[in-house]
C-alpha cells in the first residue's frame, strides 16, 4: 500500500474509532437504564446485569456501527477539506476515485462485522437473553420474595416467606393474605415452589397447608376452613415466555425456507444493515465536501438525517411486509438499491450536479 493510502486509511480509522467509542458510551447509558428497570421490576435478578448488558450491546451493533462509520468518515474527510488538503490533492489530479482504495480498506472490515452481527450474533444474543430471562422467572427472588419480609401482591395482599433455598426455587413456612371485595383469605403452607405457565404467569405452588376465608368487617360466623395438599396463588405477571418459533429468535438459516410473512420480514431486516452501511460510507465522502471556511456541523446534521430516515424506513418495512403492504419478495431492496445507487453516483461525481448545457449556447 502506498504512503498516501496509508495516511488516508489511518485518518479514516482514527475518526471511526473515536465516533464508535462516543456512540457506545451513549448507548451504554440507554442499555444500562433499560436493564436496571427490568431488574427493579423483578424480571430477572441483579446478578444477570452484566450478561444482559453484553447481549443487548450485540443487538445494538448493527444499528450503531453504520452510524459510527458514516459520521467518522464525514469527520475525517471534513478535516481534510478544512485544512485545505483535499483542494491540494485535487490540484494534482487526485479526486474521489483515488480515495476509493483506502476508503474500502477502512470500511469493508466494519461492513463484515455488521453483517456477522446482523445475520448471526444479534439473533443469537436475543435468543440467549430470552432463555436467561425465562429461566430466571422460575426463581422466587425474581418474583420479589425475600425470606423474613412481607411482599405486596395484587388486590392489597401480602406474602411472607420464612425460609428459602439459596437458589431461590423452593421455600418453607409461607403466609399469604388476600382480599377481594368484602371477603378476605388467609393461606398458610409448610412448603412450596414457583412455577411459570405457558403465558408467563408466575404461580406459587403451596403444599400441605390451611386456607381460611371470611368477611373483612363485622362479626359473624361466615368463615370457612380448608386443609389442602396442594394450592396455587398467582404472583404478578412477568415477561412473556421464550417462544422458540418466534422469527426474531430463529437463526438466519432457518428463516430462509420459512414461508411466514413475519419470517420473510425478519430475514430482510437482517440482510439490509451491511448494504446500508456501504451506502452510508459512499454518501459520507460527497456529503463532507466543503470549503475551508465552511462549518461542518450542518453537513453532519444532513448525514445524520439521511441515516435516521433510512433506518426508520428499514424498521417500518418490517411491519409493512408482515402486513402485506409491500410484497415479501421486494423486501427492503426498494430502499437499499436506490440508496446504494445514489451514494455511488454522488461519490464518483464528487457531489456535484452538472447543469445541462443549453442548445445554441456560445462556446
Taking only the tens place, the pLDDT of each residue in 85-124 is: 777 777 776 766 778 888 889 999 999 999 999 999 989 9
One domain, residues 189 and 127:
no
Instruction: For residues 11 and 107, state if they share a domain.
Output: yes
Helix axes 297-322, 261-287, angle to 10 degrees: 170
Q: Does a structural domain hold residue 62? A: yes
Looking at the structure of the chain, the number of domains it has is: 2
Q: Is residue 125 part of a domain?
A: yes
Last residue of a domain, one of 234, 269, 290: 234
Question: Pairing state of beta strands 158-164 and 170-180?
Answer: antiparallel
Give the end of a domain, one of 194, 209, 234: 234
Beta-carbon contacts of residue 87 (< 8 Å; ≥ 6 apart): 81, 292
Q: Which residue has the higher pLDDT, 39 or 342?
A: 342
Per-residue model confidence (pLDDT) at position 245: 79
Same domain, yes or no, for 157 and 200? yes
Which residue segment(s) compose the domain that 210 sits in?
Answer: 150-234
Residue 163 and residue 126 share a domain:
no
pLDDT for the residue numbered 240:
47
**What count of other Cβ atoms lies within 10 Å of the Cβ of residue 223?**
10
**pLDDT at residue 84 greater than cutoff 80:** no
3-state secondary structure of 227: strand
Q: Are residues 48 and 124 in the same domain?
A: yes
**pLDDT for 226-276, tens place per residue?**
888 888 877 655 554 556 778 888 888 888 888 888 889 999 999 999 999
Q: What are phi and psi of 80, to 5 degrees?
A: -65, -40
Residue 64: inside a domain, yes or no?
yes
On the question of pLDDT at 40 being above 80, the answer is no
The reported pLDDT for the residue numbered 358 is 47
Contact of 156 with 173, CB cutoff 8 Å: no
- Count of residues making up the chain: 363
Give the chain's mean pLDDT: 81
* Kind of pairing between the strands at 202-215 and 224-234: antiparallel
Last residue of a domain, one of 182, 202, 234: 234
Identify the pLDDT of residue 155: 60
Domain membership flag for residue 132: yes
CA distance 148 to 162: 5
Radius of gyration of the chain (CA): 30
Same domain (yes/no): 263, 132:
yes
pLDDT of residue 311: 92
Question: Same domain, yes or no, for 206 and 82?
Answer: no
Dihedral pair phi/psi, residue 359, rounded to 5°: -70, 140
Asked if 31 contacts 53 with a C-beta cutoff of 8 angstroms, the reply is: yes
**260 and 172, same domain (yes or no):** no
One domain for residues 255 and 299: yes
> CA-CA distance, 338 to 279, in Å (whole number)?
9
Comparing C-alpha atoms, which of 234, 60, 96, 232 is closest to residue 155? 234
User: In this structure, what C-alpha cell is assigned to residue 25?
Assistant: 458510551
Same domain for 303 and 208: no
Measured CA to CA in angstroms, residue 290 lies from 19, 69, 95, 299, 339 at distances of: 20, 19, 14, 9, 22
pLDDT category of residue 195 using cuts at 50, 70 and 90: confident
DSSP 186: E
Let me know if residue 77 belongs to a domain: yes
Whether residue 215 sits in one domain with residue 176: yes
Helix, strand and coil percent figures for the chain, each rounded to 5: 55, 15, 30
Give 358's contacts (C-beta < 8 A, 6+ positions apart). none
116 and 7, same domain (yes or no): yes
Amino acid at each position: 500500500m502506498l504512503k498516501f493510502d496509508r495516511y488516508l486509511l489511518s485518518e479514516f480509522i482514527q475518526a471511526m474509532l473515536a465516533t464508535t467509542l462516543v456512540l457506545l458510551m451513549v448507548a451504554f447509558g440507554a442499555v444500562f437504564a433499560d436493564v436496571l428497570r427490568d431488574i427493579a421490576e423483578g424480571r430477572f435478578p441483579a446478578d444477570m446485569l452484566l450478561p444482559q448488558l453484553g447481549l443487548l450491546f450485540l443487538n445494538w451493533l448493527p444499528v450503531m456501527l453504520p452510524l459510527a462509520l458514516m459520521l467518522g468518515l464525514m469527520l475525517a474527510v471534513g478535516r481534510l477539506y478544512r485544512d485545505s488538503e483535499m483542494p491540494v490533492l485535487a490540484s494534482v489530479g487526485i479526486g474521489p476515485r483515488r480515495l476509493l482504495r483506502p476508503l474500502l480498506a477502512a470500511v469493508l472490515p466494519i461492513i463484515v462485522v455488521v453483517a456477522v452481527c446482523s445475520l448471526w450474533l444479534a439473533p443469537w444474543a436475543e435468543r440467549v437473553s430470552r432463555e436467561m430471562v425465562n429461566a430466571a422467572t422460575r426463581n422466587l427472588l425474581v418474583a420479589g420474595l425475600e425470606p423474613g419480609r412481607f411482599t405486596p401482591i395484587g388486590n392489597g395482599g401480602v406474602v411472607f416467606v420464612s425460609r428459602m433455598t439459596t437458589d431461590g426455587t423452593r421455600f418453607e413456612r409461607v403466609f399469604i393474605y388476600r382480599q377481594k371485595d368484602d371477603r378476605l383469605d388467609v393461606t398458610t403452607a409448610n412448603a412450596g415452589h414457583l412455577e411459570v405457565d405457558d403465558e408467563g404467569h408466575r404461580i406459587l405452588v403451596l403444599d400441605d397447608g390451611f386456607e381460611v376465608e371470611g368477611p373483612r368487617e363485622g362479626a359473624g360466623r361466615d368463615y370457612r376452613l380448608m386443609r389442602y395438599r396442594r394450592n396455587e396463588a398467582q404472583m404478578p405477571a412477568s415477561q412473556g415466555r421464550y417462544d422458540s418459533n418466534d422469527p426474531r429468535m430463529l437463526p438466519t438459516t432457518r428463516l430462509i425456507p420459512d414461508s411466514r410473512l413475519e419470517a420473510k420480514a425478519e430475514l430482510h431486516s437482517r440482510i439490509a444493515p451491511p448494504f446500508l452501511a456501504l451506502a452510508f460510507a459512499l454518501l459520507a465522502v460527497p456529503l463532507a465536501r466543503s470549503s475551508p471556511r465552511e462549518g461542518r456541523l450542518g453537513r453532519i446534521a444532513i448525514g445524520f438525517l439521511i441515516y435516521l430516515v433510512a433506518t426508520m424506513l428499514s424498521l417500518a418495512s418490517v411491519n409493512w411486509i408482515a402486513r402485506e403492504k409491500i410484497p415479501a419478495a421486494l423486501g427492503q431492496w426498494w430502499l437499499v438499491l436506490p440508496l446504494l445507487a445514489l451514494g455511488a453516483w454522488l461519490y464518483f461525481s464528487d457531489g456535484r450536479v452538472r447543469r445541462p448545457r443549453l442548445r445554441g449556447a456560445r462556446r
